Amino acid sequence: MKEEDLSYIRKAHQEHPKKANKAYRKWDGKTPYYTHPLWCATTILTETSLDETTRNEGAQVLLYHDLLEDTTFDLPSTLEERVRELIKEMTFAGGSVEEMQKIWERPAVIRLYKLYDKVSNLLDGSWMPEQKRQRYETYTQALCKDVERNYGTLNITKIARGILK
């Protein structure tokens, strides 16, 4: 991650959200939204059992993964084409219902990256109604199993198992 990436994400989420309430995390309405993609991106960088390409591409993908859905910004032209394609694979036009159905058609690496996204959301998901949280946890549990099958036990799977009921 470069300083210009961090500045771009901060500006996009703080100053150019598609909806005013998208500039802040739902749980408190005060925490800047960009902390979510930043957490996801920095957390994958700690996965030393993943190969360097997966970690570095993953950090870029996770840093920008909500940009197209939640802001009026486009992806920066400086991103490598593969990273741009992976970000598009992470994006679902129909929201979480479509995502939960179609994620299994996407490459394993997309499901790996989605696990970081979902774990981060669960960590500050106190705002979720119980039924939504249960559905979210079931989905995250399935992602966790898939990631363990494809990548083995990782820090993110340990975190996921620690917060899932």
User: What's the alpha-carbon Rg for the chain, to the nearest Å?
Assistant: 15
Instruction: Quote the pLDDT of residue 165.
Output: 67
Low-confidence ranges of the chain (pLDDT < 50): none
Residue-wise pLDDT tens digits, 62-91: 999 999 989 999 999 999 999 999 999 999
Using alpha carbons only, what angle is made at residue 24 by residues 19 and 27, rounded to the nearest 5 degrees? 115
Q: Are 145 and 153 in contact (CB under 8 A)?
A: no
Q: Are 133 and 125 in contact (CB under 8 A)?
A: yes
Instruction: Quote the pLDDT of residue 23.
Output: 86
pTM of the predicted protein model: 0.94
- Domains of the chain, with CATH numbers? 3-163 (1.10.3210.10)
